[in-house]
Amino acid sequence: MRLLTPGPTTIPEQVLSKFAEPVIHHRTALFEEIFKQLQSQLRWLFQTEQPVLSLACTGTGAMEATVVNLFSPSDEVITVNAGKFGERWTKICKTYGLTVHELMVERGKSVELAALTALLDAHPHVKAVLFQASETSTGALMPVEAIVTHCKKRNVLSVCDGITAVGIFNLPMDRWGIDVLITGSQKALMLPPGLAFIALSERAWKLAEQSQLPKFYFDLKRERKMQDKLQTAWTPAISLIQGAVVALKMLQDRGHEAAFKHHECLAHATRSAAKALGLEFFASSPSPVLTTVKVPPQILEGKKIVKRMLEKYGVIITGGQDELEGKILRLSHFGYTDIFDVVTGIAALEMALLELGYPVELGKGVGAAQKAFQEFK
Ligand SMILES: *Cc1c(COP(=O)(O)O)cnc(C)c1O
């Protein structure tokens, strides 16, 4: 089975073998040594001097932790809803009684700065803008640096869900001044689900001092105090943390620049293949994380493509969710992935499309991907 989905992603053997080791106890010097290493690796990953906290939850847990630790009831925030994950910011904020000004963005599009600044002008008491770096449900890349710059100018916090972004393209937290950055283990980090990571700027920690929303498990101040002492408030996901040290070491050995370039190259190869197959792109500013294409009109039920690829060829891609169900295909190319994953995915896609009635010259997409890869600079 080949995983070409936007999480979970494939896990390298070096990481998998860690999970076969006995579970150590966490209130020990041995754990503290491992955790210290992970903390320093995470600061490297986030490009920050701030502590990066590890939480035993998935990415959504870190999103909820952000909201309950920064805000107080009836605080005003802006959420950028460009897809399912942006909508999740809205839902979490509403759950906790915040006043939410939602910036709706057409599916497949990136947020327009003019619309964001107009909303900020209209609501001068807004405390934060919550957005995605890469909206995984549509494949759209968001203009992170520009959003952060606009927020900073107005003394509004920028809260960036970097769950399919950190480690894939450049998001220098400190240099750009991102106030909150989060990610999760099962996306770019080559780990199973179950860990989330979060870092706050000094400004964000100050706002956290005033937060009145109830919190217990996700009390970041308490967590920070413990993690400063190389411990966690609750039992850590010990095995995942041991695996994370290995996975992050692999990322460090490759280096940021090479990793970003690698993902750009795979994106380029995938897009070249899709173009050669005559498929229409869905996202107008595509992220290097995944390529989204429209289901061709010759195939009425788009879900059949995903099903065929899985059941006949053992290749898992994803379709659209909610209103995009059956309408788009999402081809992921991040994490522990190389050109041969792309080529295999495209080969299976070609065969499935042909079998379902879309005219394909077999090998055309594969060849385009290979050529694009070789010519990529
Ligand atoms: C996957 C994802 C999430 C949610 O993560 P879970 O691990 O499923 O909780 C949030 N935001 C983005 C952009 C994602 O891709």
Domains in the chain (CATH in brackets) are 11-254 (3.40.640.10), 256-375 (3.90.1150.10)
- The answer to whether the CB of 139 is under 6 A from ligand 1 is no
Which atom of ligand 1 is nearest the CA belonging to 196?
7
Q: CA angle 154-160-165, nearest 5°?
A: 140
Peptide bond into 8 cis (omega under 30): yes
Local confidence band at 1 (pLDDT 50, 70, 90 cut-offs)? confident
* Closest C-alpha to ligand 1, atom 5: 59
Residue 184 alpha carbon, nearest atom of ligand 1 = 7
Residue 76, number of CB atoms within 10 A of its CB: 17
Q: Confirm or reject: Cβ of 50 under 6 Å from ligand 1.
A: no
* Distance from C-alpha of 160 to C-alpha of 155, rounded to nearest angstrom: 16
Beta strands in 51-113, from DSSP E residues, in sequence order: 52-55, 76-81, 99-104
Count helices and strands (H / E) in the chain.
14, 14
The residues with which 158 forms a beta bridge, in sequence order, are: 129
Higher pLDDT, 42 or 300: 42
Write the pLDDT tens digit of every residue in 181-224: 999 999 999 999 999 999 999 999 999 999 999 999 999 999 99
Rounded to whole angstroms, the Cα distance separating 188 from 9 reads 8
Q: What spacing in Å lies between the alpha carbon of 57 and ligand 1's midpoint?
A: 11
Which residue's alpha carbon is at the smallest distance from atom 6 of ligand 1? 59
CA of 255 to the centre of ligand 1 (A): 24
Region 308-331: mean pLDDT is 96
DSSP 161: E
- Give the residue among 189, 239, 198 at the shortest CA–CA distance from 220: 198
**pLDDT one-digit tens code per residue, 94-124:** 999 999 999 999 999 999 999 999 999 999 9
- The Cα 146–Cα 116 span in angstroms is 11
Using pLDDT thresholds of 50, 70 and 90, give the confidence band for residue 3.
confident
Taking CA atoms only, the protein residue closest to ligand 1 atom 2 is 163
Residues above pLDDT 90, as percent of the chain: 98
Contacts of 57 (CB under 8 A, 6+ apart): 65, 194, 195, 196, 218
Split at pLDDT 50, 70, 90, the class of 70 is very high
Q: Residue 335's pLDDT band (boundaries 50, 70, 90)? A: very high
pLDDT value for 241 = 97
Q: Count of residues for the chain?
A: 377
Mutate to test the pocket of ligand 1, among 9, 85, 181 (most ligand atoms within 8 A of CB): 85
362-369 mean pLDDT? 98
- In the prediction, which pLDDT does 46 show? 98
CA atoms of 133 and 232, how far apart (whole Å): 28
Residue pair 266/259 in contact by the 8 Å Cβ criterion: no
Index of the ligand 1 atom closest to the CA of residue 85: 11
User: Is residue 145 pLDDT above 80, yes or no?
Assistant: yes
Query: What local confidence, expressed as pLDDT, does residue 2 receive?
Result: 86
- Identify the weakest region by mean pLDDT among 74-78, 164-168, 299-303, 306-310: 299-303
Kindly report the number of other CB atoms within 10 A of residue 205's CB atom.
18
Task: State mean pLDDT over 14-18.
Answer: 96
The 318-319 sheet, strands edge to edge? 290-294, 328-332, 318-319
Q: What is the pLDDT of residue 32?
A: 98
Separation of alpha carbons 122 and 76, rounded Å: 12
Q: Specify whether the CB–CB gap between 315 and 3 falls below 8 A.
A: no
Ligand 1 pocket, residue 332 CB under 6 Å: no
Q: What is the pLDDT of residue 349?
A: 97
Q: Is residue 333 very low, low, confident or very high in pLDDT (cuts 50, 70, 90)?
A: very high
**Mean pLDDT along residues 287-303:** 95
CA-CA-CA-CA torsion sign (215, 221, 222, 223): positive
Place of tokens 């599009």: 109
What would the pLDDT profile of 26-59 be if each residue is shown by its tens digit?
999 999 999 999 999 999 999 999 999 999 999 9
**pLDDT of 273 above 80:** yes
Q: Please answer whether residues 39 and 178 qualify as being in contact, where contact means their C-beta atoms are separated by less than 8 angstroms.
A: no
Q: Is 292 in the pocket of ligand 1 (CB under 6 A)?
A: no
Does the Cβ of 192 fall within 6 Å of ligand 1? no
- Cβ atoms < 10 Å from Cβ of 242: 20
Supply φ then ψ for residue 14, to 5 degrees. Answer: -60, -35
Q: What is the distance in A from the centroid of ligand 1 to the CA of 186?
A: 9
Q: Is the pLDDT of residue 244 over 80?
A: yes
What is the rounded distance in angstroms from the CA atom of residue 342 to the CA atom of residue 213? 45
The predicted-structure confidence for 72-96, as pLDDT tens digits, reads as follows 998 999 999 999 999 999 999 999 9
